[in-house]
Amino acid sequence: MRSAVGASWAVLKEISRAVIFFVVFAVASPLVLGLIYGVPAGSIMSLIASTVIFQAAAPPLGLALGLTPVAILTVMACFAIGMVVAILEVCQSLALSSQRVKDWIEGVRKKMERYPAIKKYGAVTCIAIAWIPGIGLYGTPIIAWILGWKRIPVVIFTALGFVVAAAFVLFFASMLSIDLILIIVGIAAVVCITLLVIRKYSGTKGK
């Protein structure tokens, strides 16, 4: 009984840490910087919300909100750091809550010991993994955690890859007019909503 309570407490602690890290880095830090440099809090929160959905493709909305490229990349860097740390904490809670997950992770990491170079330098590949569609910012830390890569390098290189990807998007978006950016964002939002509705309808029909 005590062990079960202790495990539950450990999981709750990890999840609480995840929430705190996300709020501090992804939300509070951009807002504080915005307050210092006179950037509207509403614009920052809108960019953060769009980054949750569009990830590295969110910079055009930042331009539409009147934010400078430096402000956009700063907000996205803070968001990336907070999100990666939070995901790593959640992954750790999974290992604490499930013996099956813990055993599987240990098995994977034992196999990775055969490849010391990957274990030592694998975190650097997070720069490239963060660019892969379908994995991006959310999937990269999960892969890194499964393979047992060190946390700090994973956070640094994943955030770096994410910011570089956002900078490329920002570079091309800066060549477009604000009206065109808004149209593109609107079309993307409609497509996402349509896909979600279709998926939900298909799932309901299948049942």
* Domain map (residue ranges) of the chain: 2-175, 176-207
How far is the CA of 137 from the CAs of 27, 60, 62, 74, 195, in angstroms?
16, 18, 18, 16, 21
pLDDT by residue, tens only, the chain of 207 residues: 445 555 566 677 778 888 999 999 999 999 999 999 889 999 999 999 999 988 888 888 888 888 998 899 999 999 999 999 999 998 888 776 777 877 888 888 888 778 777 777 888 889 898 888 778 899 999 999 988 888 999 999 999 999 989 988 888 777 655 566 566 666 666 766 776 677 666 655 555
Interhelix angle 29-37/41-54, rounded to 10 degrees, is: 140
- CA-closest candidate to residue 44, choices 60, 64, 62: 62
Amino acid in the structure at residue 28 = A
Say how far apart CA 40 and CA 62 lie, in whole Å: 12
Residue 115's φ and ψ, nearest 5 degrees, are -120, 75
Q: The whole model's pTM is what? A: 0.78
- CA-closest candidate to residue 75, choices 92, 89, 63, 88: 63
